[in-house]
Chain A
């Protein structure tokens, strides 16, 4: 069981400060790559939204605003618990960090559960694209395209959530095992940045998929 700070200092670094700085910059650069990754999908969605405004509006009307809104609130809550977990780590209260991390992971699972409920609902309503899709609307093609983007984008988001939840659990276990301290919890900070970013992606997904067709 490694003890904090000195033994965690990797060989190529001169000081813990340099290591922390490098890890922070590294994580932000990774998030920039994620912006471009999801960005490609947002750009494609924007083009088709412009071409198929009516169809996309009808597609959006099929979304479950209640579940979507609840999920948004759920994810925001998990960001709060994550931020608090790190706050307490910085203050040396690692026990609270441990419980807050577990709570964050649990809330993440709640999000996924609601998400899969929605997916199943769409499947039952014949809105899952491909061979499961059926629609009588004159805009059927566009509605299917809407759902293609919906499933790809929220699916990728859910994948990122799953990876995040797994990491949160692993880091919670490490917290309990004493890997971190007030002076060294850089991996937790990096994880926090990742978690909040995944939340931000959802904020935009919520805006583009759930809101457009609400007035129907």
Chain B
């Protein structure tokens, strides 16, 4: 149901979710999912900047083979804090808690999430976790790596392990609350006529992500708790001296942390589905396959964690099993890549900024995914594990994948969120900057890793220096590419041209309401009669939009 001129006039006088109440209290005590999404956006951006600064310092140190900028101890702290900040305080919450929070109720035609107060509570819990972690960082840091491996973390590290672990533990509850909320919402709050297979693929991805949130995060919580208990009471749960097994820690840790990487990538894939459809003006090819691929990824992701432990000492049979399953998990991801590509075929493709990010994602995610398969092979992994090859692999997915999708999604839905349009020319330039900077940063790292440069080392043999210089140069360019959107988004909020309800002329319920939306999302609860991405069927309506 599209809305015409009458709604636009009404919208001009009716308040949006931004203007309906003013003042800091109305933001800090809001239960409106859209405002909470903005609260999260500020938070994750802040944490991203901190994590990014740690990365920049590391890259500066790595310009020279000696440890001359920072001490080895400080370097250990830098990579640990970079990892902790980026994983738990940026990547995991980014798309779900910003775009997911904002869009899920709108995309299903609901007024809010199922548990609106729980949503606000989740943000406070998240901020509490972040504060505790920042306290650990600025009191003196943590040097165990984001992976907290025992017995170093429990016995030998002299840094602020417990506050860091505690901060992560607390932020995990924010994840659990979010996942719970999303699952209940998607099951119970869909508008009349919105059957499962009419849902946007973004919703399928968020649903799959939420299942992982809910089933994996508690195990992380409990294993960090055990690390804290061991460290405080000096009892050997994971320490060989008292009969404990460090590998058991790794089993419990990676049981969560492997699915966690799918928490980081599934929402990104959901965004890409939306972008590819919108900018090809076609339904996503093989909707059912993409929807089921999301669920399959979520399920299979729980069965592969041992591939992080091939050289840790687990049994050979265990390793073989995990290797085979890791190949299996690549299949649904590949299906998605094929289907996005097929969506472009005979589509009416336009190259607005969100689409640039989407295409970038598809290419970079493919490289990241394929190098993951190299790592899943036992023989190769023994050679490249704990080298820069692994670092390059996961940064291709996390940064080349997730961050690009996050930026693409931000650009795409920015008009809906802010009611304003960002400047397209500069945006395209920054997308290109990000793409070039990213590849210059991380492609040399594949070579470094293959040649044997270990990860988490501040010093290295001089023959690796030229590759590190390339990488650091790339990182600087990448940093510029990230700062640009910060500036122009901020500018556009105040000075950008007003965007209408549907500047992209896209399908999807979120575009059937004003930009920015009213507090209740829709004037009247929509009734859904069309399938998703019905560009052909909605041609006339979209032309008038």
Residues of A bordering B, CB below 8 Å: 10-14, 18, 21-22, 25-26, 29-30, 32-34, 36-41, 43-44, 47-48, 51-52, 129-131, 141-142, 144-145, 148, 152
Contact = CB atoms under 8 A, between A and B. Distances in A.
Contacts of B461: none
B189 A144 contact: no
Interface of B: 105, 110-116, 176, 179-181, 183-185, 187-189, 214-219, 221-223, 225-226, 229, 233-237, 242-245, 248, 252, 255, 520, 525
Contacts, number: 107
Nearest to A44: B248
20 contacts: A10-B116, A12-B110, A29-B180, A32-B215, A33-B176, A33-B215, A36-B218, A37-B222, A40-B218, A40-B255, A41-B226, A44-B248, A51-B245, A130-B233, A131-B233, A141-B242, A142-B243, A145-B235, A145-B244, A152-B229
Contact of A43 (B187, B243, B252): B252
B191 to A, nearest CB: 10
Contact of B235 (A36, A38, A144): A144
B110 A36 contact: no
B235 A40 contact: no
B222 A145 contact: no
A55 to B, nearest CB: 8
Nearest to A55: B243
Given A12-B113, A29-B184, 15 more contacts: A11-B112, A12-B112, A12-B189, A22-B184, A22-B185, A26-B181, A32-B215, A33-B215, A37-B219, A37-B221, A40-B223, A47-B245, A130-B233, A130-B234, A141-B236
A22 B188 CA distance: 6
A110 B498 CA distance: 64
A145 B234 contact: no
B214 A29 contact: yes
Contacts of B234: 130-131
Contacts of B183: 25, 29
Given A29-B183, A33-B215, A36-B215, A145 B236 contact: yes
Nearest to B255: A40
Contact of A22 (B179, B189, B215): B189
Contact of A11 (B111, B226, B525): B111
Contact of B115 (A18, A26, A37, A44): A26
Given A144-B235, A148-B235, A37 B242 contact: no
A44 B226 contact: yes
A145 B111 contact: no
B112 to A, nearest CB: 4
Given A11-B111, A44-B252, A47-B248, A26 B184 contact: yes
Contacts of B187: 25
Contacts of A131: 233-234
Q: Select the residue from B105, B216, B218, B223 with max chain A CB neighbours within 10 A.
A: B218
Nearest to A29: B180
A152 B226 contact: yes
Contacts of B222: 37-38, 40-41
A44 B185 CA distance: 34
Contacts of A21: 188
A145 B245 CA distance: 11
Contacts of A44: 226, 237, 248, 252
Contacts of B215: 32-33, 36
A58 B252 CA distance: 26
A36 to B, nearest CB: 4
Contacts of B235: 129-130, 144-145, 148
A33 B214 contact: yes
A212 B253 CA distance: 28
A41 to B, nearest CB: 6
A21 B189 CA distance: 10
Q: Select the residue from A38, A40, A41, A43 with max chain B CB neighbours within 10 A.
A: A40
Contact of A12 (B114, B219, B226, B229): B114
B184 A145 contact: no
Contacts of A25: 183-184, 187-188
Contacts of A10: 116
Contacts of B181: 26
A40 B242 contact: no
Nearest to B33: A12
Nearest to B252: A40
Contacts of A41: 222, 226
Contacts of A142: 243
A25 B255 CA distance: 25
Contacts of B189: 12-13, 18, 22
Q: Select the residue from A39, A141, A148 with max chain B CB neighbours within 10 A.
A: A148
A34 B188 contact: no
A144 B255 CA distance: 26
B423 to A, nearest CB: 36
Nearest to B233: A130
Contacts of B525: 14
Contact of A18 (B112, B188, B242): B188
Contacts of B229: 148, 152
A36 B187 CA distance: 22
B237 to A, nearest CB: 6
A17 to B, nearest CB: 10
B443 to A, nearest CB: 38
Q: What are the 10 tightest A-B residue pairs by CB atom distance, in nearest-first order?
A: A37-B218, A130-B233, A12-B112, A40-B222, A36-B218, A40-B219, A141-B243, A22-B114, A12-B111, A22-B188
Contacts of B114: 12, 22, 26
A28 B413 CA distance: 33
